[in-house]
Amino acid sequence: MDEGTFAWVRLADPSESELVQLAGELGLHPLAVEDALHGRQRPKREQFGDVLAVALKPLRYVEEDTAVETGDLLIFAGPRSVLTVSHGSIDPCAEAARRLDADPQMLCLGTWAVLHAVLDVAVDAYSDAARRVRATLDRLEDEVFSTSRVDHTQRIYSLKREVREFRDAVQPLVPVLQGLLDGPGTRDHLSEIAPYIRDVGDHLHRTDIEVRTLDELLDSVLGAQQARVGTWQNDDMRRISAWAAIFAIPTMVAGVYGMNFEHMPELGWTYGYPLAVALMALASGALYRAFRRNGWL
């Protein structure tokens, strides 16, 4: 291989035989092969000799399903070669390759250019997903405080679960980028690559703050929804109590005169029945008016 050139091998859901073969040719550590084979790695950074291994979780937000979809990506950057292994349908490597093709000057930085490009695409996707989640949360917040009596608790919990998955992808990657330039094998292009890596780290840090804020806002919206549900239940109980009090009066009068005793007042009076009905109607109407005035009905 000519001086200044390097190889970039991209694998998607590789088999064990493919990884073992490449591991021998690229000099990968057996532990690195194990991580690449199984995926599902927490974002981290490890050094295997002169090969730097970075694991991250690329993601995208699907608004139609209110879901954060994540994948797994491992980057193995050596002095003259880069191996990227992706698991799942989300792979930022294609967009990273397109950006590098459009900027040949970055390729002069060697394998670090690939590492930066992939991280940059992944972090840009984080920022876009955070913006979309914020828009979803704003709409949900408006619905919670609207006049409609719809319980959005399940939707809030669902979005909160997705934000937690988002946070699990972003938060562990922050210290990885912060310490990325401290490992061995970075000195050749340290001065050239440092500003680019630092810029990606700044974007990631802002996204991490945004995701934390979204998680806290969801707690507040959930509390507001639960308070509104409690208010609705109290209103319902007051209405039920008010109507029970209104119907208690005719029930009491009818119960008294339904005891069928022989000697009861007004039993033989011609206007006794109309008077009893009028009394029940007036008393019930007075209670209804009082409850309406106090906001119970």
Question: Which pLDDT value is given to residue 150?
Answer: 85
Model confidence pLDDT, tens digit, residues 66-119: 899 999 999 998 888 899 999 988 999 999 999 999 988 888 888 999 999 999
Distances (CA, A) of 246 to 59, 68, 200, 294: 59, 53, 68, 14
Q: State how far the Cα of 123 lies from the Cα of 67, in Å rounded to an integer.
A: 18
Model confidence pLDDT, tens digit, residues 137-156: 999 999 998 888 888 889 99
Beta partners for residue 52, in sequence order: 47, 77
DSSP H or E run through 66: none
Question: Which pLDDT value is given to residue 185?
Answer: 47
Identify each DSSP E strand in the chain by its residue range: 7-12, 44-48, 51-56, 59-62, 67-70, 72-77, 81-87
Whole-model pTM? 0.79
Model confidence pLDDT, tens digit, residues 227-280: 888 878 787 788 888 888 888 878 777 777 766 666 666 666 666 777 777 877
Spatial contact of 284 and 250, defined as CB atoms under 8 Å apart = yes
Which residues fall within 8 angstroms of residue 22, CB to CB, at 6 or more apart?
9, 11, 28, 83
What is the layout of strands, in order, in the sheet containing 51-56?
Answer: 7-12, 81-87, 72-77, 51-56, 44-48
Tell me what the mean pLDDT of segment 15-33 comes to.
81
Q: With H, G, I as helix, E, B as strand and everything else as coil, classify residue 56.
A: strand
Give me the long-range contacts of 18-24 (CB less than 8 A, separation at least 24): 19/85, 22/83
**Residue 264 CB neighbours (<10 A):** 12
| C-alpha triplet 139, 143, 146: angle, nearest 5° | 135
Q: State how far the Cα of 80 lies from the Cα of 114, in Å rounded to an integer.
A: 11
